[in-house]
Structure 1
Amino acid sequence: MKALSPTDIPPPFARYAHGVEIPGDWRMVQTSGQLGIRPDGTIPEDAYDQAVICFQNIEKILGSSGMSASDVAHVSAFVTDRSHMADYMRARDEFLASTSRLPSSTLLIVSGFTRPEFKVEVEVLAAAP
């Protein structure tokens, strides 16, 4: 994959690329949106803890296809309040710490999810040879 960050547009606001080119013959995995719910059904109150669970689930999904964080081409994330952005971004940066290649990224503030206690949802698109 090739990160695309043209120098004649403003630089990204955080640790991401403006675009990512994926070779046509690579395998791709698109995850469903992952919520911060533990295997026992409990949901942490803190947005950071929820985001960490989202990325742990994504890591397991990618692993089942032989992929990892280094194969992520795009991250889409949704938070229910601007106050949760920093916690989400911290968890995202920890998830991506093992790779120097940056994915493209979208972060939206939404009015809510299926249950009011959810604060963060994350999905990724990954690609590998």
Structure 2
Amino acid sequence: MTEIVARNPAGVFPPYAGYAHSVEVPPNARTLYISGLNGYESDGATMPPDFAGQTRLVWQHLGTILSGAGMGYDDLVSLRFFLASAAHDPENVAILKEHLGDHRACRTVVVQQLLEPDWLIEVEAIAARVDEPAAR
């Protein structure tokens, strides 16, 4: 089976806070592109007022979407975080590590005003999985 490989080549600064500079996805992998997720509850109208609450809901939604495609957090190859404040980054990294452990994906963090004033985080993701070939 061909694997998805995180690559951190010599000559580039060491990745900090647990990410990979690049991830190589083989041509036989299934890919899943996930739109920006925010911290709305399943009712689509309410959300926790705090960053941790919203972020944990984003990870819950992300896990549900991945599961629906037969994937999990270990299949994430790229994450893009949009934070309403740079002050949230340390907590974001801590919650990310709770979900990914030693798994490394590419990651970008952007600090900007989000679409709705109550949103404190939005996350886009790409996942890829190489499935075992069917038995003959």
* TM score, norm. by length of structure 2: 0.88
1:26 aligns to 2:33 (yes or no): no
Cα displacement string for residues 79-109 of structure 1 (whole angstroms, at most 9, x for unaligned residues):
0111111121122111112xx3311111110
Deviating more after overlay: 57-66 vs 3-12: 3-12
Match of 2:60 among 56, 60, 63: 56
Q: Is the 8 A contact 2:82 2:114 kept in 1?
A: no
In the comparison of the two structures, how many residue pairs are matched? 126
Q: Is the 8 A contact 1:31 1:123 kept in 2?
A: yes
Pairing of 1:1-129 with structure 2 (within 5 A): 1-40=4-43, 41-97=45-101, 100-110=102-112, 112-129=113-130
CA distance in 2, matches of 1:17, 1:35: 24
CA distance in 2, matches of 1:20, 1:87: 24
Deviation at 1:35, TM superposition (A): 0.2
Unaligned runs of 5+ in 2: 131-136
Large movers: runs of 4+ above 3 Å: none
CA distance in 2, matches of 1:38, 1:89: 22
Q: Is the 8 A contact 2:80 2:125 kept in 1?
A: yes
Q: SS in structure 2 opposite 1:33?
A: strand
The letter of the residue matching 1:71 is D
CA distance in 1, matches of 2:91, 2:53: 8
Deviation at 1:77, TM superposition (A): 0.5
For the aligned residue pairs, the C-alpha RMSD in angstroms reads 1.1
Q: SS in structure 1 opposite 2:57?
A: helix
Identity %: 29
* TM score, norm. by length of structure 1: 0.92
